[in-house]
Amino acid sequence: MTNGALVLAGGGVAGIAWETGVLLGIQDVQPATAAQILGAPTALLGTSAGAAVAAQLATGALLKDLFDAQLADDTAELFVEIDLASFGAMMAEAVAAATSPEDSRRRLGAVALAAETPSTAARRAVIEARLTEKSWGDRSLGLTAVDAETGELRIFDRSSGVDLVDAVMASCAVPGVWPVVEIGGHKYMDGGMRSGSNADLAAGADPVLIITPSTEQTPMGPAVPPAELAALAPGRVHVVYADAASIASFGMNPLDPAARKAAALAGREVGRRVANEVTTFWSQA
């Protein structure tokens, strides 16, 4: 990468709505900056929820249309019950004896492969509904996923020969919640099993704007690990984190479609508040 990059992190259905709101809020206050960030020279890197937003942006969807869809009562999203504390405990137990990060991902992959989930067809219908345009187009777009059997990272892009819907679905395949996605004889799960944002994969880009629907510090540590930020040097980096009001808007279940409206509105307020500092950051390129 030689141009700027926009990195969009994971965070469930609420995260999709919130990130959309943040970007629209920036556009509300600083439309020229938003146009630069969303312009063709900027590379897009998405993980999980961020993969959905990145794919929407890369295929030409308008922010206002995406935002309005988050406010609508009608949605193709599926409701799934999840308790974050129990889910976190399950993941921690699965990786407790892991000997390496890759081994941790293999163990999470075993959980994903064994889980009872909604059908692949039902989940694919959700992802298809998120994307108005279902071909890759010409934008620089990278979507992360993890091989559930080997633990290896995979970055899907337009040169991968992979259907865009499949790539987004793989990046969003939360272990134990959504079905793994078979692509080319491999079974893939959520890219967030490597990292919530996989920000280090934007190395070489300058500037790099990271948007993550998490506070800077989470119960599991920094939302964006220092090592990932260091990997982006000498490129300049700015991170937009969720504030307390945003976290409250997500509710107890960020996969609940009912959280979309509040999350989108909270994100828009964050975007408006940070628009000027993001403009200062981006304009120094």
Q: pLDDT tens digit string along 151-161?
A: 999 999 999 99
- E-strand spans in the chain? 5-8, 43-47, 141-147, 153-156, 181-183, 186-190, 208-212, 217-218, 221-222, 237-241
At residue 2, the pLDDT reads 57
Bridge partners (DSSP) listed for residue 181: 188
pLDDT band at 82 (very low <50, low <70, confident <90, very high): confident
State the DSSP string of 64-83.
Answer: HHHHHHHH-S---PPP----
Is 10 buried (19+), middle (13-18) or exposed (0-12) by CB count in 10 A?
Answer: buried
Residues 6+ apart with CB under 8 A from 175: 91, 108, 109, 111, 112, 115, 148, 189, 190, 193
pLDDT band at 90 (very low <50, low <70, confident <90, very high): confident
Pairing of strands 208-212, 237-241: parallel
CA distance 182 to 109: 13
At residue 1, the pLDDT reads 45
Q: Closest Cα partner for 175 from 112, 119, 114, 124?
A: 112
For residue 237, the SS3 value is: strand
Q: pLDDT tens digit string along 175-206?
A: 999 999 999 999 999 999 999 999 999 999 99
CA distance 112 to 122: 17
Average pLDDT score over residue span 231-244: 97
Q: What is the pTM of this model?
A: 0.96
- Between the alpha carbon of residue 136 and those of residues 54, 91, 167, 261, the distances in Å are 11, 33, 10, 28
Q: Closest Cα partner for 134 from 76, 187, 60, 69?
A: 60
Q: pLDDT tens digit string along 49-73?
A: 999 999 999 999 999 999 999 999 9
CA distance 100 to 107: 11
* Average pLDDT over the chain, rounded to an integer: 95
Q: Closest Cα partner for 145 from 203, 195, 90, 78?
A: 195
